[in-house]
Chains A and B, each alone.
Chain A
Amino acid sequence: MGKLKTLEAGPMTTIQDLGRFGYMKYGMPIAGAVDRYAFRIANILVGNPEDEAAIEATFLGPTIQFKAEAVIAITGGEMKPELDGKEIPMWQAVKVSKDSRLSLNRVEKGLRSYIAIRGGIDLPEVMGSKSTYLRGKLGGFKGRKLQQGDELSFPEVKEGENFCLNRKIPEDLLEDYLDDREVRVIVGPQDDYFTEESLKTFFASEYQLTNQSDRMGCRLAGPTLEHTTGADIISDGIVLGAIQVPGDGQPIIMLADRQTTGGYAKLANVISVDLPKVAQAKPGDKLNFKQIGVVEAQQELKKQEERIAQLKEWLTGTANKKIKYFKIRVDGNSFEVEVEEI
Chain B
Amino acid sequence: MYNQVRYLDAGDRGLVVELGNQISEEINRKIRNLTLAIDTKEIEGVEEVIPTYRSLLVNYDPLTIRRELLIEKLKKLEENIEEVELPQPKLVKIPTLYGGEEGADLEHVAQVNKLTEEEVIELHSKPKYLIYMLGFTPGFVYLGGLAKKIATPRLQEPRTKIPAGSVGIADNQTGVYPIESPGGWQLIGRTPVKLFAPYRERPILQGIESGNYIKFEPIDKQEYQRIVIAVDNGNYQVEIEEINV
- Say whether B22 contacts A23, CB under 8 Å: no
Contact residues of B between 181 and 213, Cβ < 8 Å to A: 181, 196, 198-199, 203-204, 208-210
Interface string of A23-38 (1 = CB under 8 A from B): 1111111000000000
- Say whether B57 contacts A136, CB under 8 Å: no
Q: Check B179 for interface membership: any CB of A closer than 8 A.
A: yes
Count of chain A residues with Cβ under 8 Å from any Cβ of B?
Answer: 44
Least CB distance from A266 to B in Å reads: 7
Q: Kindly state the separation between the CA atoms of A187 and B52 in the bound complex, as whole angstroms.
A: 21
Q: Check B30 for interface membership: any CB of A closer than 8 A.
A: no
B residues near A29, Cβ cutoff 8 Å: 138
Q: Check A234 for interface membership: any CB of B closer than 8 A.
A: yes
A237: nearest chain-B partner, CB-CB? B57
Chain B interface residue number, banded: 35 or more
Q: Check B123 for interface membership: any CB of A closer than 8 A.
A: no
- Say whether A135 contacts B53, CB under 8 Å: no
A235 touching B53 in the complex, CB below 8 Å, given contacts A25-B209, A26-B139, A305-B63? yes
* Residue among B56, B67, B203 with max Cβ neighbours from chain A (10 Å): B203
A residues near B111, Cβ cutoff 8 Å: none
Q: Check B100 for interface membership: any CB of A closer than 8 A.
A: no
- Say whether A25 contacts B12, CB under 8 Å: no
A189 touching B9 in the complex, CB below 8 Å, given contacts A25-B48, A237-B55? yes
Q: Kindly state the separation between the CA atoms of A261 and B23 in the bound complex, as whole angstroms.
A: 15
Q: Kindly state the separation between the CA atoms of A127 and B204 in the bound complex, as whole angstroms.
A: 10
Least CB distance from A232 to B in Å reads: 12
B residues near A261, Cβ cutoff 8 Å: 50, 52, 133, 135-136
Q: Check B218 for interface membership: any CB of A closer than 8 A.
A: no
Interface string of A189-213 (1 = CB under 8 A from B): 1000000000000000000000000
Q: Kindly state the separation between the CA atoms of A65 and B56 in the bound complex, as whole angstroms.
A: 47
- Say whether A189 contacts B198, CB under 8 Å: no
B residues near A302, Cβ cutoff 8 Å: 62-63
- Say whether B12 contacts A21, CB under 8 Å: no
Partner of A188 from B9, B47, B67 at Cβ < 8 Å: B9
Partner of B48 from A21, A138, A262 at Cβ < 8 Å: A21
A residues near B46, Cβ cutoff 8 Å: none
Partner of A235 from B48, B52, B210 at Cβ < 8 Å: B52
Partner of B134 from A25, A136, A241, A298 at Cβ < 8 Å: A25
A301 touching B11 in the complex, CB below 8 Å, given contacts A27-B135, A261-B136? no
Binding site for A on B (CB under 8 A): 8-14, 16, 18, 21-23, 35, 47-57, 59, 62-63, 67, 133-140, 142, 178-179, 181, 196, 198-199, 203-204, 208-210
